Structure 1
């Protein structure tokens, strides 16, 4: 797509991509359940995404950003096959940021994480942990360019891909890229639902 630049993210990109993902997930049902207060959530999400990227995803060399006119407008946090589980060390390094961001609600975040881990597919695959675009730049093709970039590689490698959609309205979007719903995860205690989606290589 013209004018869109997709590239691997480096450490200096973390702040910008964390801000973009924080804005993208501000109205996400799972994030709203984890951090109900709007003002707190606006501050918490960039911290959470920054910590996840810095202490886990960057090491997998599969974090991508898409930019237009030099401004990062969307980001995707992927894990290569066999790397989706966070190590104990990674979890420990992330925890101070999570506690600072979420305070007493950090237990809800851990609950969501455990539920996702428990139902994660065993078969080797590329895992799309997070993808989002800045609300001000939605519809410009930035997210589409990110999806195509990595899925083209999945197809070249003959590798499946997996994600959890935290918004029902996004399910048809992912289906257009070849993902199919394989299950639903509902967070206990009145929490929202996530849709498990799997994509076979084309």
Structure 2
């Protein structure tokens, strides 16, 4: 009998394993490869980046969820509730050292991505799915689906819209199954890859 997937709100003690899961999840992501091309260090640098984002921004909003199985955290999602997707100046200040350690000389590319995402971000109040990822070892096992459904149940109960950016074209059909639709394209500079803003109407 398969182990049940348990979805719960994340605590501070979850940050390190959660970030490790997301670092492995995004190792082959086209945008992350463009931002951090060093294969040997990418997973570790991504884990530091996700830990920084979680600790200094997402955790305070109450939108961090994990899906755990027999072997620990299999997937994680970082959501912002309506009106909270913009990082405050204090949050940006607190995140800066972690981002510099994570990205090193590639920090400029990280800022380019962040600015382009801000330019395309809708102003209408909505739930924002900043990050969702499953550990490759459990991918296809229902961890990501459990996380998506958990938060979207709340989104629908509030009759609110939701928004995300897909950084991998292979994931677009997955998000479409949950009701998200592509609304445009974000092209990164220097022959970089594309991202796809996706919007989900209230239900």
The two structures share one fold, judged by TM-score above 0.5: yes
**Pairwise mapping of residues 15-164 of structure 1 onto structure 2 (< 5 A)?**
15-69=16-70, 71-164=72-165
Query: How far apart in 1 are the matches of 2:80 and 2:124?
Result: 14
Checking the alignment, whether the CA contact within 8 Å between 2:64 and 2:78 is kept in structure 1 is yes
Aligned residue for 1:153, secondary structure, equals: helix
Query: How far apart in 2 are the matches of 1:40 and 1:71?
Result: 23
Query: How far apart in 1 are the matches of 2:69 and 2:199?
Result: 29
Provide Cα deviations, 1:142-187, integer angstroms capped at 9, x if missing partner.
Answer: 0000000011111110000000000000000000000000011001
Aligned residue for 2:114, secondary structure, equals: helix
Query: How far apart in 1 are the matches of 2:67 and 2:126?
Result: 23
Aligned in 2, Cα 1:9/1:187: closer, same or farther, shift over 3 Å? same
**Paired positions, count:** 202
TM-fit CA distance, 1:101: 1.3
Query: How far apart in 1 are the matches of 2:43 and 2:173?
Result: 27
Query: How far apart in 2 are the matches of 1:21 and 1:91?
Result: 21
Query: How far apart in 1 are the matches of 2:93 and 2:40?
Result: 26
Q: Which runs of 5+ in 1 are unaligned?
A: none
TM-score between the two structures when normalised by the length of structure 1: 0.98
TM-score between the two structures when normalised by the length of structure 2: 0.97
TM-fit CA distance, 1:69: 2.0
Which stretch shows the higher mean deviation, 169-178 or 31-40?
31-40
Provide Cα deviations, 1:13-57, integer angstroms capped at 9, x if missing partner.
Answer: 000100000000000011100010111212200000000000000
CA RMSD after TM alignment: 1.1
Runs of 4+ in 1 over 6 A off after TM superposition: none
TM-fit CA distance, 1:198: 0.3
Query: How far apart in 1 are the matches of 2:172 and 2:130?
Result: 15
Query: How far apart in 2 are the matches of 1:178 and 1:171?
Result: 11
TM-fit CA distance, 1:70: 5.8
Q: Which runs of 5+ in 2 are unaligned?
A: none
